[in-house]
């Protein structure tokens, strides 16, 4: 790592990889079959895999009480290491310190890993929600996740034994931090900007990526392939859309596509910080933060995720924010623009958002040609045409250009 041109991982000189391989994995799997079993939620499974591949460096396991409380309240672990969102495992009873358990995917029933319990503790779920999501409202999908947790958290170091179905189902898109780092090194990229995606790329996403490409050596289009809320477009469809867009509209030597196995938490500003933490572990020097990053509904102002980066203390995080203003199609400008570059009026602009796109497609509405590339729209129209059951998509202020609250 000393001679590498790639940024160091967060809080460590090297990636903290907890995924076992070879004989060591075989022996731990045999042992796991004899241990008491604890079932993981989808979110917990994704967190475990990220610890396994080094994406959550420097974490060594699920957080204990002191780390949980300090992360919620102060965005740092008990030892002072910056971390913006708790990474915890819940269970319906206390377990004695020293107990060894097998961690089982609730989705596939596969043995995902083992853990040696160091402590069990109860948490104040309202306290966590208020700090992490800034709300306790049950309609918030992240709040729902926390309140659905069991009565106790169990903490301890983990050994990871599987990456679940992600490597097989997503092929080359699914990527470990060691793999992206190697590619950045081989390409000689010293500055790498990450674009977070949970939607197919519409023209605003494309514009963000190309702005970043002008000031970076390369762009890492890094898409979530874990679970989303009902009504969001599934990962396999998004991957197909993004691959098509990159193939036709990007300089291939300047872009890399990857996927990571987390569920969305919809934590807005806090999740933007988490995105930057693990992007640094994947080798990125910058994190693109645009309008309503990782937001949901009207819970966050359109630029709250930018504001929180400016509030960090010196040395908290090496991966820097690349802030970008509202972007839209301007009919008078004849192309994509932002509030910083376009002098025209609201009626001259088409505001683009994933929420608006999903709503129009799900309701069979007309999609303006300026909204997305034709190749992408063709894929999405086919997907929605074959849906047996559609979920109502609600518009919110940041999706329409009418922000409920703007704290910029």
Options 43, 176, 181, 199, the catalytic residue: 199
Sheet of 286-289: strand order equals 255-260, 218-224, 192-197, 286-289, 320-323
Q: Strand pairing of 152-160 and 111-116?
A: antiparallel
Options 181, 198, 291, 358, the catalytic residue: 198
Taking alpha carbons only, the member of 310, 246, 247 closest to residue 273 is: 310
The yes-or-no answer on residue 198 being catalytic is yes
β-bridge partners, 104: 39, 111
Q: Would you state the structure tokens that stand for residue 58, as one six-digit string? A: 């420097």
The yes-or-no answer on residue 136 being catalytic is no
> With contact defined as beta carbons under 8 Å apart, do 336 and 370 qualify?
no
Integer Cα distance of 206 and 375 in angstroms:
14
Taking alpha carbons only, the member of 371, 379, 378, 380 closest to residue 352 is: 371
DSSP 118: -
Q: Report CA 309 to chain centroid distance, whole Å.
A: 16
**Residue 106 phi, psi dihedral angles, 5° rounding:** -70, -20
Integer Cα distance of 366 and 373 in angstroms:
14
- Where would I find the H helices in 188-298? 203-215, 235-249, 269-281
The dihedral of CA 61, 65, 66, 69: what is its sign? positive
Q: Would you state the structure tokens that stand for residue 151, as one six-digit string? A: 């009565």
Half-sphere exposure for 75 (CA within 13 Å, toward CB) = 18
Q: Which residues are catalytically annotated?
A: 198-199
């Amino acid at each position: 790592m000393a001679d590498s041109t790639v940024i160091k991982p967060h809080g460590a000189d090297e990636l903290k990889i907890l995924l076992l391989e070879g004989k060591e994995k075989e022996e731990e799997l045999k042992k796991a079959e004899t241990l008491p079993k604890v079932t993981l939620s989808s979110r917990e499974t994704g967190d475990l895999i990220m610890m396994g591949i080094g994406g959550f460096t420097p974490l060594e396991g699920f957080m204990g009480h002191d780390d949980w409380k300090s992360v919620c309240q102060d965005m740092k672990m008990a030892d002072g290491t910056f971390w913006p969102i708790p990474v915890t495992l819940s269970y319906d009873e206390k377990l004695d310190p020293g107990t060894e358990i097998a961690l089982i995917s609730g989705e596939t029933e596969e043995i995902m890993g083992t853990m040696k319990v160091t402590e069990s503790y109860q948490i104040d779920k309202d306290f966590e929600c208020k700090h992490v999501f800034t709300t306790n409202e049950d309609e918030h999908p992240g709040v729902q996740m926390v309140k659905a947790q069991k009565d106790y958290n169990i903490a301890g170091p983990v050994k990871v034994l599987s990456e679940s179905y992600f490597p097989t189902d997503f092929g080359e898109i699914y990527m470990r931090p060691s793999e992206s780092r190697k590619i950045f090194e081989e390409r000689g990229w010293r500055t790498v900007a990450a674009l977070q995606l949970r939607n197919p790329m519409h023209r605003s996403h494309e514009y963000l990526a190309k702005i970043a490409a002008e000031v970076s050596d390369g762009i890492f289009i890094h898409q979530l392939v874990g679970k989303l809320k009902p009504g969001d477009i599934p990962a396999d469809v998004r991957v197909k859309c993004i691959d098509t867009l990159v193939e036709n509209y990007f300089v291939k030597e300047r872009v890399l596509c990857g996927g990571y196995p987390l569920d969305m938490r919809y934590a807005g500003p806090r999740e933007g910080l988490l995105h930057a933490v693990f992007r640094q572990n994947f080798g990125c020097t910058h994190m693109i933060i645009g309008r309503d990053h990782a937001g949901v509904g009207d819970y966050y102002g359109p630029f709250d995720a930018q504001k929180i980066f400016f509030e960090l203390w010196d040395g908290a995080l090496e991966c820097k924010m690349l802030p970008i203003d509202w972007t839209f199609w301007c009919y008078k400008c004849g192309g994509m623009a932002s509030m910083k570059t376009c002098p025209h009026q609201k009626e001259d602009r088409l505001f683009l958002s994933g929420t608006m796109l999903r709503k129009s497609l799900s309701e069979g509405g007309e999609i303006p040609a300026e909204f997305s590339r034709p190749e992408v729209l063709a894929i999405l129209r086919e997907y929605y045409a074959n849906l047996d059951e559609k979920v109502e998509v609600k518009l919110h202020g940041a999706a329409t250009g009418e922000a409920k609250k703007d704290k910029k």
